């Protein structure tokens, strides 16, 4: 990340995850050396203008330490995240770039069907691909089947 401001005032452990196709949660921690009155604001720039967090997650002191976004689409280009903050003593600035498709937690496949021959020597297994935020590149997804005999 690119950091600016008073030493030790920026955030730590910034991470995001996309789930249920279009919802994204981002979380971070205030640095141990951050001023007690520091407040943080998250922006991200995807396909258009920068968007500020729609719903902040706050810690016990009322400090923003996370964010929930809706209607997110995981593209293949890098997405810029910017955490700005301030306190009476300092300005806080942190930039991080993430490829959103790498942080998407996929839903499980659905409509799984198994059809075997009489001897169960050969089986055909079919499923419907899980819905995801970016379906442009189906070849990027691999599935693993684990067969257990009981």
DSSP label of 21: T
Alpha-carbon gap, residue 65 to 51, rounded angstroms? 17
Q: In the β-sheet with 39-45, what is the strand arrangement from edge to edge?
A: 2-5, 91-99, 78-86, 39-45, 50-52
Nearest 5°: phi and psi at 143?
-120, 145
| Model pLDDT, residue 90 | 74
Task: Give the global pTM.
Answer: 0.74
Ordered structural domains, the chain, with CATH = 11-102 (2.60.40.10)
Alpha-carbon gap, residue 72 to 105, rounded angstroms? 13
Task: Lowest mean pLDDT of 3-17, 33-47, 78-92, 94-108, name the range.
Answer: 3-17
Q: Which residues contact 149 (CB under 8 A, 6 or more apart)?
A: none
């Amino acid at each position: 990340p690119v950091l600016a401001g008073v030493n030790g005032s920026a955030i730590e452990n910034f991470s995001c995850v996309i789930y249920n196709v279009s919802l994204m949660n981002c979380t971070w921690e205030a640095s141990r050396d951050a001023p007690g009155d520091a407040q943080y604001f998250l922006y991200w720039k995807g396909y258009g203008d920068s968007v500020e967090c729609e719903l902040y997650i706050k810690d016990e002191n009322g400090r923003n330490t996370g964010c929930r976004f809706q209607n997110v689409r995981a593209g293949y280009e890098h997405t810029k995240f910017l955490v700005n903050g301030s306190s009476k003593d300092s300005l806080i600035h942190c930039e991080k770039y993430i490829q959103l498709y790498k942080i998407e937690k996929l839903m499980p496949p659905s409509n799984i069907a198994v059809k075997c021959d009489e001897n169960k020597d050969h089986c055909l297994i079919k499923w419907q691909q899980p819905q995801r935020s970016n379906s442009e590149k189906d070849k990027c997804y691999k599935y693993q089947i684990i067969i257990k005999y009981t």
